[in-house]
Structure 1
Amino acid sequence: MLEGRETHVEYEPIGKAKHIGIKIVDNETQEVIQEIPSKKIVEMIDKLCELAGLMVDERV
């Protein structure tokens, strides 16, 4: 997938917990080739944690 392409890696905090996310970016076009973890996964985890927090708050 990356063979023959000039790329670089960028790190950034993602999600509410500010975990480190990794992006592989094409040097020429600045297109994001791959995100690890993907934004969709991070959004799902944030939502699940939010819902779990609501359930814990309701029991107390």
Structure 2
Amino acid sequence: MLKIEVNSGENIERALKRYKNKFNRTGVRRELQARKQYTKPSIERRAQLQKAEYVQGLRDAEQA
């Protein structure tokens, strides 16, 4: 369970924003969405390769 300590005089909206950021960094939401539907391992690997190619292309374009 995530715990966020609210500092004295801190706005509740600011504390909620910190909580949301911390929750997103844990990856729980992403994992839950991934578990909703089964994806074959070959499809997951293909997606990883496509992402890696895209990122490599961005890096190459940045260096050129």
Range into which the TM-score falls when normalised by the shorter chain: 0.3 to 0.5
Q: Which has the larger radius of gyration?
A: 2
Higher strand share: 1
With the length of structure 1 as denominator, give the TM-score of the two structures.
0.43
More helix, by proportion = 2
